[in-house]
Structure 1
Amino acid sequence: MLKIKNLLSAEDLYKDDLLEVIDLAEDIVKSPSDFSDYCNGKLLGTLFFEPSTRTRLSFESAMLRLGGSVVGFSNAASSSQSKGESLQDTIKTVSQYADIIAMRHPQEGAAKLASEVSDCPIINAGDGGHQHPTQTLTDILTIKTYKNKLEGLRIGLCGDLKYGRTVHSLLKVLTMFDNNEYVLISPEELKLPNYIKKSVFEKHNIEFEERRSLDDSINDLDILYMTRIQKERFFSDNQYTRLKDSYVLNKEKLKDVKKDLAILHPLPRVNEIDTDVDNDPRALYFKQVKCGMYARMALIIKLLEGRDA
């Protein structure tokens, strides 16, 4: 049983808890039908105050495949917040209906606030530029599935490392595992924030490299984690326009890379991975989407077990 009642950030995950969820997800992948009635009679509330395709549908698919049901909304205009209702009152209300809630919100810290007033478990499905812990579960399950290990890997993270909440969450979890090497590839303006470097690398005495060129960094990687330059995080259209094409991965750049390189991306993709890469067996980002559904199925089961215990 997990030590946590909610999943609000990657830092909530103890290593044992993380592996417990990943092990269960692997069992679900092997035999989904064994879990098809697990959530019969249970209700998931999906409260998405910010647009989402993959994350929301992944949660909904996960609950439906477990035999449960789903209620919720896909944007703030569909909720009573458009009438001035507070987030706390929305959560207090929905937690009377639902057995578990997955919430995305543009404001950092919103998931923590929700957990303080909710009568059921809260899963943070993304809060501003802060955390996206279930994407981290997705990424870890994908790496474990296709590399068959979580240690001794050379991992490159490329693109928006400043605002990329998926990168921040993933790094905090990967440092639980030994002997990994990290290459941080970004423009100067979008490099990993110092507070993340301190809490992730310096705290655990882990070395890392910072580079500006993807071409000079890719050939010896085991994993390449691409991210988009996020237009919605910029205050200036001019700055976004200048940086948006900083890195574009195409077939030509894959000529000399490792044959078992794993190319990941949290999606949505804009133009940072050319479509000519999609058919390359090393391109795992759409398989990563399916891993996300299984990871969320496992997480829902584990959090409901804790609630019902």
Structure 2
Amino acid sequence: MDPTMLKRQRTFDPTAAWFPESLTEDPSTWVDQSLVSVEQMSPGGVRLVMDYAERCRRLIEDGPGHCGLLQGKIMAAVFYEASTRTACSFHAAMLRLGGSVIPLPSSSSSVSKGESLADTIRCLECYCDVLVLRHPDKGSCDTAARAASIPVLNAGDGTGEHPTQALLDVYTMRAELGGDAPQDCTVTLAGDLKHGRTVHSLAVLLARAQFGNLSLRYIAPPSLEMPDGVKAQVAAAGVDQTEVSTLAEGIRGADVLYVTRIQKERFDNESDYHDVKGSYVLTPAIMKDAKEKMAVMHPLPRVDEIHTDVDDDPRAAYFRQMRNGMYVRMALLLLTCGKIPPLSP
């Protein structure tokens, strides 16, 4: 066993709030730290992740495709909810960096016997160096990080946050639009904005990261609007935000259209879900009114909110967005483990 494992201590106050903007442009501030909320990152910290992710992209696309920077490191992937993209991209990220993965779906863990989340985390920290957690309960990743003596990366906690998704979304905007994007951009968020943890984290991250001349638009069915708490955080950062009622309005002049599905699993009554399902469907006809250079993004999975005929449009970025998730998660694993990605070949 790595002798450092025996020396780990819980050095934080379990009742204290996470320090806002404590993860900065200084890589040393990320080492051995959990990522629970986008509020932990300073504007410089966000840009550091973008820089590391770009180095990781070059390693994969222009270089050998892998390295041994995390050789000997083990990541536990603890998923209490179904996941394709987040789980697989974290796995691939760790393997590309030379590390190993312990996958633990809830069906295989002692949670089925009544074990608490905190006890599960304290068990797994005996075997690994970093832990990735997805859980259906809002605030669960905060609970896990306070119980752990190793870094915990939030891979989505109920209707709360999804900080690693928000980071890969910003990276995708930069990759698709170029320049200083999303600076000087209009970003439209459409769909289930009430339950969508991806849009919660993205809106707050965009606002807090100080991208100049940024504006947000919201499109949602009645009862599924962006929560007031999220809008208050955006407003506090001085970012303009407006609500529109149709995709045609939302797409007009937008640089990014970020579409989300209506989340059936968050509804108590299935009939309420069917009342709003299919409220917005992006089609090639609607895309005719979009900018020639615009990015259509989606955290996936999709149901019926983007017609498959849109997939052939060069502005459809959602499959490239998936691959970007691996680069960003490679960057986060390197930062957490105190490693610097190689420069471009």
Scaled by the length of structure 1, what TM-score is found? 0.96
Given the alignment of the two structures, is residue 186 of structure 1 paired with residue 220 of structure 2, yes or no? yes
Q: Which residue does 2:174 correspond to in 1?
A: 144
Name the % identity.
42
Q: Which residue does 2:247 correspond to in 1?
A: 214
Given the alignment of the two structures, is residue 244 of structure 1 paired with residue 277 of structure 2, yes or no? yes
Given the alignment of the two structures, is residue 58 of structure 1 paired with residue 93 of structure 2, yes or no? no
Given the alignment of the two structures, is residue 3 of structure 1 paired with residue 51 of structure 2, yes or no? no
Q: Which residue does 1:229 correspond to in 2?
A: 262
CA RMSD of aligned residues (A): 1.2
Q: Which residue does 2:202 correspond to in 1?
A: 170
Which amino acid is 1:132 matched to? H
Q: How does 1:97-112 map to 2 (within 5 A)?
A: 97-112=127-142
SS class of match (1:96): coil
Please give the alpha-carbon distance, in whole angstroms, between the structure 1 residues aligned to 2:250 and 2:130.
Answer: 42
Please give the alpha-carbon distance, in whole angstroms, between the structure 2 residues aligned to 1:122 and 1:221.
Answer: 35
Q: CA deviation at 1:217?
A: 2.4
Q: CA deviation at 1:207?
A: 2.2
The number of residues matched between the two structures is 304
Please give the alpha-carbon distance, in whole angstroms, between the structure 2 residues aligned to 1:34 and 1:165.
Answer: 31
Please give the alpha-carbon distance, in whole angstroms, between the structure 1 residues aligned to 2:238 and 2:72.
Answer: 47
Scaled by the length of structure 2, what TM-score is found? 0.86
Q: Which residue does 2:4 correspond to in 1?
A: none
Given the alignment of the two structures, is residue 263 of structure 1 paired with residue 296 of structure 2, yes or no? yes
Please give the alpha-carbon distance, in whole angstroms, between the structure 2 residues aligned to 1:139 and 1:272.
Answer: 18
Q: Which residue does 1:14 correspond to in 2?
A: 42
Query: Gaps (5+ residues) in structure 1?
Result: none
SS class of match (1:295): helix
- C-alpha distance 195-244 of structure 1, shift in aligned 2 (>3 A): same
Which amino acid is 1:159 matched to? G
Which amino acid is 1:14 matched to? S
Deviation sequence 1:49-93 (CA, Å, 0-9, x none): 11111111110011011111100222x221101111111111011
Please give the alpha-carbon distance, in whole angstroms, between the structure 1 residues aligned to 2:104 and 2:296.
Answer: 32
Q: Which residue does 2:67 correspond to in 1?
A: 36
Deviation sequence 1:172-216 (CA, Å, 0-9, x none): 111121111111111121111111111222x12322110111122
Q: Which residue does 1:27 correspond to in 2?
A: 55
Deviating runs (4+, > 3 A) in structure 1?
none
Deviation sequence 1:218-241 (CA, Å, 0-9, x none): 121110000000001111111100
